[in-house]
Amino acid sequence: MTTKKQEKDIIKYITLCICSTILGVVTAIGMFWGKDAYIKIGVGILIGIIGIMFFGLLLEDPS
């Protein structure tokens, strides 16, 4: 049996995995996107970091 805290940690871990996967995909697309690739990679990384921070705050234990 898992406790509520363990469930939250599992959900947080899965969310971080999804976020980093999306970040990786965006970065890979950005790399093959012509002359503004660096800008797109930078935007992709920023979106990924903001997303991870947002989900981290969202899943943070309120107590």
pTM of the model: 0.44
* Res. 1 pLDDT band, cuts 50 70 90: low
Are the beta carbons of 5 and 61 closer than 8 angstroms? yes
Q: What are the domain boundaries of the chain?
A: 4-58
Residue pair 45/31 in contact (Cβ under 8 Å)? The answer is no
**Averaged pLDDT of the chain:** 73
pLDDT over threshold 70, residue 37: no
